A = this chain, B = another copy of it.
Amino acid sequence: MVSIKDVARHAGVAISTVSKVLNHYPNVSEETKVKVNKAVEELNFVPNSVAAALSSKQAGRVALLVNLSSKTQAIDEINMQYIHGAINKAMELNLDVITLFFSMFKNRTAEEITRYLQSQSITGIIIYGLSKENKVLQKLISDQRFKCVVIDAPIVNENTSSVWIDHRKAQYDVAKKTIIENNCKRVLYISGKKNGYVTDERIKGMEDLVRDMGLTMLIRNGDFSELQARNITMRYGKNKDVVVCASDLMAIGAMKALIEMNIFRPVCGFDGIILMGYVGKQMNTVHQDFEGISAKAMEELQKLMNGDKGKNIITPYTLERMKYMDIIC
């Protein structure tokens, strides 16, 4: 394997000079820059990132913490896009990434996780799917031993940024659109996981809408479960004009129930997953660019690792109408 030493020799300069050129340090003459770069080219030198990580504490490797809930493989689509977006961006930014799952840290304390991450020379982490109940990861964040970006949770401190869409407004918008299109008054709202950060925001959005439009609303907790949404719809759907769901999966459950009950009610979902296409009906939903969000998070993490302060970042969303033929390709 060709190392920086070989490059130095080949270019006729010192190792440290090569390093300076590679890392764009100031105080290097144009002439030696050219020499070094030429040597790099000729030898096909690629710096060893492991050595770099060991040597400099600030090089910084990144860990992705993904919450894979085994029950709903359907949303693997979302996690996959998160991972893909993050890793691609990381490669672009020259950051090393390892992917980890929540399940690996079951029954571990924040300290144990911290030590593990440190043993991997991790300095920055991105957390996907954090729930309010996960005290361990919350502690990890508040300890601030790592630079941290959290997706879909309102946690910001000196070393922590949050990235998410405006769920309150998005829920408001998609429900409003559906309700106006179908001229509804009585809303059945099937919310997400209890005490979820996102769940609460979306409920607020619905409350805003109910107030603004003078609607009535029944809220039931669907726990992001298709089955629960189905049962709730079976039970309450008949006397409502519209079923608004906090996720596409639940929207599918609701729609299946309505079909079985043989009544029509407009349904809207949230997330814009491809799976929606397979239910065979049209539905309004909020489309999130998961890859883009994740890439954005990686950019933000790099900024944090370069000394920026944590901040709250809101990304855009769009309303979509998905149907079978949009998907098939």
Contacts and interface: CB of A to CB of B under 8 A. Distances in A.
A9 to B, nearest CB: 19
A328 B88 contact: no
Interface in A69-128: 71, 73-74, 76-77, 79-81, 83-84, 87-88, 91, 96-101, 103-104, 111-112, 115-116, 118-121
A129 to B, nearest CB: 13
A230 interface: yes
Contacts of A81: 73, 76
A274 to B, nearest CB: 4
A119 B227 contact: no
A58 to B, nearest CB: 14
B324 A119 contact: no
A182 interface: no
A227 B81 CA distance: 23
A47 B119 contact: yes
A80 B256 CA distance: 26
A28 interface: no
A269 to B, nearest CB: 13
Interface stretch (A48-56, A173-181, A211-219): A48-56
Q: How many copies does the complex hold?
A: 2
Nearest to A112: B44
A227 B275 contact: no
Contacts of A98: 96-99
A278 B278 CA distance: 7
Contacts of A103: 88
B73 A225 contact: no
A273 to B, nearest CB: 8
A121 B50 contact: yes
A1 interface: yes
A324 B227 CA distance: 11
A143 to B, nearest CB: 14
A256 B278 CA distance: 10
Interface string A1-18: 100000000000000000
Contacts of A252: 278
Nearest to A51: B54
A202 to B, nearest CB: 22
14 contacts: A46-B115, A49-B120, A50-B50, A73-B77, A74-B77, A76-B80, A87-B101, A96-B120, A97-B99, A98-B98, A98-B99, A99-B99, A225-B329, A252-B278
Interface of A: 1, 44, 46-51, 53-54, 61, 68, 71, 73-74, 76-77, 79-81, 83-84, 87-88, 91, 96-101, 103-104, 111-112, 115-116, 118-121, 225-227, 230, 252-253, 256, 273-275, 278-280, 324, 328-329
